[in-house]
Structures are given as C-alpha cells and as structure tokens.
Amino acid sequence: MSNVLMPKATAVWLIEQTSLTFDQIADFCGLHPLEVQGIANEDVAKGIRGIDPIAQGFLSREEISKAEGNDGYRMKPLEQRRVDLPPVKRKGARYTPVARRGDRPDAIAWFLRNHPEVPDSKVVKLIGTTKATIEQVRSRTHWNINNIKPVDPVSLGLCTQIELDAVVSEAAAARARAEARKKRTDGPSLRPVSETLEADGDAQADPASSEADA
C-alpha cells in the first residue's frame, strides 16, 4: 500500500505534468486506475490543485523518466519520505482559529460548487462551521455574500488534503451506492404471471387476428 502523502493531489500533478499511464499513477499513489481516470476527466478531485512530488522530496525525476519510457515500470518513492500516518480521531466540530474564521464561507462555497454531494454535517466537522452558515451561503443570504469566492479549504488552512480526500471519497461512494439502488428500483421488472398467461390466452383464442397482423 502506498504511503505517498496527498495521493490525489499528487495524481493531479502527474496527470498534468507527465506522460505516465493511469496504471502507473494509480500504483504509485495507491489509487484505483479508474479513480485516476476520473481525476483526469475531472469527475474526481475536481478543484484540487496538484502537488509536485519531486519538490516534496518523495519522488525523483529519474523514476519518472524510467516510467515514461516503460509502461510496465512501477515507480518507487524515496524511502525517507514514506511514512505511516496515524488515523485522525476527532469528536465534534473542528476548532478554527479566529484569524481563519472569515475564510470558512469561501470554503463552504467551494464545497457547494465542486462537491454538493458532501453532506452539510461533514462540512461542519471538517472546517468548523455551522449548518446555519452553510444554508446562508447556499441561499445567498449571507451578510458578506458579495465577497464570498469558492476557495479550496486546504489552501485556506482549514483542513489537510488527506482529510478533504477522505470526506470527498466517502461522499462519492455514498452517492454511487444510492444511484445503484435507484437503478435497481427504477429498472424494468418482470410482468406478473397472471398478465403473461392472459396475453398468451388471447393470442391462442384469436389465431386469425395474429395471422392478419403478421
């Protein structure tokens, strides 16, 4: 399993700056190839800015060059940058420093524009806001609505890229499950046995009509 920090942001950079295949990027970042394809199509991680893994010190230019020249090659991160991060455990809403609290409406606007599938409750916990503030931004009744601009909450320092990726991925998975259930519910169903037998009986009772139709 990959220990690359900020895997989706790294994948964004690799897609934009290299000629690596989706499989190579997925293997290095610990993602599924279809997820990398979704990032390339802007269906996944929309609005996330790419992170240069070379500048961050966990991938070398030589490794990228080797992989670009051989589709079967799998890149290896620099060992000193491979770390295991403990899971983040937090109860209740996040505390946001006073200096950052004015940025929260911008982050809310970013969620509403780029990831409307994320529940308000998750946004509340992630950036330390309230459902009332989210609704004010959504309905454009916020007192400062004319100055609110969608900005990535990671760029604002309200959360980490890892925390944001986790919330967005969880919401996307929940939406996919809901859509799958809806398709099963709305899909075509078998006709009742009584209707099938009735239709067959009508056809047999009036063969002349069937021949005329033919």
pLDDT in tens, 165-175: 999 999 988 88
CB atoms within 10 A of CB 94: 14
Q: What is the DSSP string of 2-16?
A: ---SSHHHHHHHHHH
- With residue 136 as reference, give the H or E element that holds it: helix 131-138
- Residues 14 and 66 reside in one and the same domain: yes
Is the pLDDT reported for residue 78 higher than 90? no
In a domain, 167, yes or no: yes
Tell me what pLDDT residue 99 has: 44
What domain range is 31 assigned to? 7-81
How far apart (Å, rounded) are the C-alpha atoms in residues 213 and 202? Answer: 14
Q: Average pLDDT for residues 42-59, to the nearest whole number? A: 81
Residues 162 and 110 in one domain: yes
Q: Which residue, chain included where needed, has tokens 């409406």?
A: 105
Number of Cβ atoms within 10 Å of the Cβ of 164: 27
Contact (CB, 8 A) for 23 and 60: no
Specify whether 130 is located in the same domain as 170.
yes
Q: For residue range 100-150, what is the model confidence (pLDDT) as tens digits? A: 557 899 999 999 999 999 999 999 999 988 999 999 999 999 999 999 999
Task: Based on the fold, state whether residues 66 and 115 are members of the same structural domain.
Answer: no
Residue 181 confidence (pLDDT): 85
What local confidence, expressed as pLDDT, does residue 186 receive?
A: 66
Residue 47 gets the label, from left (phi > 0), alpha (psi -120 to 50) or beta, of left
The answer to whether residues 112 and 178 belong to one domain is yes
CB 96 within 8 A of CB 104: yes
